[in-house]
Structure 1
Amino acid sequence: MPDKTAPTPPARQAAVRSDGQEARAQLLSTALALFAEHGFAKTSTRAIAQAAGVNLAAIRYYFGDKAGLYAACFGEPLGGNAGDLTHLYDAPDLPVDEALRRFLTGYVEPLKQGEIVRQCMRLHLREMLEPTSQWAQEVERDIKGPHGVLVAILARHLGVRADDDLHRLAFAISGLAMQLFVMHDMVDTIQPSLMRDATAIDRWAERLVGYALALVDAERLRRTALAGKTRKKA
């Protein structure tokens, strides 16, 4: 009789891990599509498991519960935590153009993933319309975090405090990249070559840096002119 206490051979362990990774990835992909289409409340775990072709217990095994699977749909498909950009501010000698290049390049990089990006965008829009507890986490991680880093970089570069106008500037710069996600389908309809492949996305990032620097220069000139007027009045 075989020894049931013998360790699992390495080849079999690798096969098990591979099968598990595939099952988990299939669950995540299926859940993303269904949550994006129907929302959290109207999507059942049974429907997800059936569509993914796995046992219902697999959801509990890999994600804990429905909420855990839903949260994973936000954090995993596009590569994890978008708010982890503190390294850009923690390098005080980094020129503003290079900081903006890294910021915007990282922002648009997920566009290279094609259909997954569309599904993630639909999921985020549905979450905005039908918010769950996940929305507060998304705001803190993927919106507030990157925005705060960008404001800090701009404040240091311009030598000013983070006032309302600096926040306006930061929103305008991040908006340059965000509109590519929001208008993805429209861009594809009007000028499909703009998002045809990875090279086209890289070109977008390059252009966005130039646009962002123009906004920064405009804000610098505005502040300089305002300061001059203030001195004359004094």
Structure 2
Amino acid sequence: METGKALETSQRILDAAELLFVEHGFAGTSMRQITSAAGVNIAAVNYYFGSKDGLFQAVFERRAEPFAQLSIRKIDELTTNKNDYSAIEVAQAFMTAAMEMGSNPEYGGLVFVKLLARSYVEPNPVLKEKLPQRYGELTRKYLAALSHALPHLSNAEINWRFHFMTSAMFNAFAGNNVMRLFMAQPLVNARDPQLVAEMLMPFIAAGLNSPAAQ
């Protein structure tokens, strides 16, 4: 069991690494940056987390479980309280869970939203085994809800639309403003999660409710 000082040190390392991973990604963050930001030496990181891979996994894990449970609770509330619901309500349940987590400082606030987005946009080998285990129940419940809301679609198309829905959300929340490649001063503010959510939902709704592929 960690002492108070040891716990404080490990939390400081996690907090510093989280911010750096969000800003630079896993590959773009060096151990030197992490130790400098946390005010520790490399031996401390290795002692608590074993390696950079172990640290990345620990950073992700402390946010993943609360998000998974909240997402499941949101979809359970929707499917339990309503016999008929729309595909957009399913998408909103998922989005609401992310935004509620993002507004809670206990779970990292907006840093959490960007960390989650980074984790999906830039998948890391460390998480390949962990993600299916962590989000298996969540995925099954959302796929089932989409299948109920869109009964005219095949199982394959339901899976494709869930893939596109989550991909669009995670890419949007990553904070990367692609418009800067084409415009010097784009009107798109990709770093404002609330604005991203507001502008993204009509796009998601149109995609989910589009006719079946021919």
CA offset digits 1:130-164 (Å, max 9, x no partner): x534322134435x554433211111223468611
CA distance in 2, matches of 1:124, 1:213: 21
The equivalent position to 2:187 in structure 1, one of 187, 191, 216, is 191
Distance 1:121 1:158, change over 3 A: closer
CA distance in 2, matches of 1:155, 1:104: 18
The question of 1:208 aligning with 2:200 is answered yes
Corresponding residue for residue 104 of structure 1: 95
Distance 1:166 1:118, change over 3 A: closer
CA distance in 1, matches of 2:60, 2:162: 23
Distance 1:83 1:187, change over 3 A: farther
Unmatched 5+ stretches in structure 2: 104-108
Name the Cα RMSD after superposition.
4.2
Distance 1:116 1:185, change over 3 A: farther
CA distance in 1, matches of 2:170, 2:119: 15
The code of the aligned residue for 1:26 comes to: R
The question of 1:26 aligning with 2:26 is answered no
Larger radius of gyration: 1
Instruction: Give the 3-state SS of the residue equivalent to 1:177 in structure 2.
Output: helix
The code of the aligned residue for 1:69 comes to: L
The code of the aligned residue for 1:80 comes to: A
CA distance in 2, matches of 1:38, 1:169: 28
> How many angstroms does 1:104 deviate by?
1.7
CA distance in 1, matches of 2:64, 2:144: 22
Q: What are the equivalent positions in structure 2 for 1:87-98 lying under 5 Å apart? A: 87-90=73-76, 91-94=79-82, 95-96=85-86, 97-98=88-89
The code of the aligned residue for 2:93 comes to: R
CA distance in 2, matches of 1:203, 1:140: 31
Q: What are the equivalent positions in structure 2 for 1:121-140 lying under 5 Å apart? A: 128=123, 131-140=124-133
Corresponding residue for residue 39 of structure 1: 27
CA offset digits 1:47-97 (Å, max 9, x no partner): 744552235564466x45225422112233xx3334333334433334334
- TM-score by length of structure 1 reads 0.58
Count of residue pairs brought into register by the alignment: 193
Work out whether residues 68 and 134 of structure 2, in 8 Å CA contact, stay in contact via their aligned partners in 1: yes
CA distance in 2, matches of 1:147, 1:209: 19
Work out whether residues 89 and 152 of structure 1, in 8 Å CA contact, stay in contact via their aligned partners in 2: no
The equivalent position to 1:65 in structure 2, one of 27, 30, 50, is 50
Distance 1:60 1:39, change over 3 A: same
The code of the aligned residue for 1:83 comes to: A
CA distance in 2, matches of 1:173, 1:38: 24
Work out whether residues 151 and 162 of structure 1, in 8 Å CA contact, stay in contact via their aligned partners in 2: no
Distance 1:155 1:92, change over 3 A: farther
Work out whether residues 104 and 205 of structure 1, in 8 Å CA contact, stay in contact via their aligned partners in 2: yes
> How many angstroms does 1:185 deviate by?
3.5
The code of the aligned residue for 2:80 comes to: P
> How many angstroms does 1:180 deviate by?
0.5
- TM-score by length of structure 2 reads 0.62
Work out whether residues 105 and 202 of structure 1, in 8 Å CA contact, stay in contact via their aligned partners in 2: no
Distance 1:108 1:177, change over 3 A: farther
Q: Percent identity?
A: 17
The code of the aligned residue for 1:53 comes to: G
